[in-house]
């Protein structure tokens, strides 16, 4: 439940600007696709902590070719009080060669946090780096005296993915937060 509270206050300002990059149809489609993932990853006793869902979008070519990353959390596997946080990445593609309306396609998803591992607060930035999309995630890591409920060490991790290749999402580095990083107070209240 403590992890849920951390997620509740994720990145309010950033999420609002990320939503602005998605139209209503795209936002509805991404939520539909994430809901389908939640069903696939759940058992009879799990729930998504929907208030903690964090969506960030990036226009890859300034022509509406969008990359969308979503952070979501599923709690209560096997009736327990644990949680697992996932990062799912999507890209929109045209339907066929006649350029019918675009649809979002899942590229990859990976677990990025859980009780006992770390808590992901939010997607703090998303940008294009050469031919990959880089996602910076603000995290709370476990310190030596932290209880299982409450990681307290501000940190961040970086994931990269090739926007045209499935199964390419990978963590490239995790590090303690630096003074010039996005303050966790803006992301993990």
pLDDT along the chain (189 residues), means of 10: 40 36 86 95 90 90 85 90 94 65 85 94 92 94 90 94 89 70 52
69, 27 in Cβ contact below 8 A?
no
According to the model, what pLDDT value does residue 25 have? 86
CB 99 within 8 Å of CB 81: no
Question: What pLDDT does 165 receive?
Answer: 85
* Contact yes or no for 124/189 (Cβ under 8 A): no
Pull the structure tokens for residue 127.
């940008």
Buried b (16+ CB within 10 A) or exposed e, 49-61: beebbbbbbbeee
CB count in 10 Å sphere of residue 120: 30
Cα separation, 43 vs 55, in Å, equals 24
- Residue 188 is predicted with a pLDDT of 53
The torsion defined by the Cα of 145, 147, 150 and 152, in degrees rounded to 10, comes to 10
Q: Residue 173 has what pLDDT?
A: 85
So what's the pLDDT on residue 66? 86
Closest of 6, 5, 40 to residue 154, by C-alpha: 6
pTM above 0.85, yes or no: no
């Amino acid at each position: 439940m403590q992890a849920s509270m951390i997620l509740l206050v994720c990145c309010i300002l950033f999420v609002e600007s990320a939503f602005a990059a998605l139209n209503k149809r795209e936002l509805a489609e991404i939520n539909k696709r994430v809901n389908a993932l939640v069903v696939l990853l759940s058992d009879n006793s799990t729930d998504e902590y929907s208030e903690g869902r964090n969506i960030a979008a990036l226009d890859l070519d300034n022509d509406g070719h969008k990359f969308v990353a979503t952070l979501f959390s599923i709690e209560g596997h096997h009736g327990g009080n644990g949680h697992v946080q996932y990062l799912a990445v999507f890209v929109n593609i045209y339907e066929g060669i006649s350029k019918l309306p675009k649809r979002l396609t899942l590229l990859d998803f990976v677990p990025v946090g859980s009780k006992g591992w770390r808590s992901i607060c939010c997607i703090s930035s998303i940008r294009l780096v050469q031919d990959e999309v880089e996602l910076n995630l603000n995290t709370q890591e476990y310190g030596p005296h932290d209880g299982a409920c409450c990681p307290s060490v501000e940190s961040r991790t970086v994931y990269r993915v090739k926007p045209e290749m499935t199964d390419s999402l990978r963590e490239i580095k995790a590090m303690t937060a630096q003074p010039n990083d996005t303050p966790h107070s803006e992301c993990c209240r």
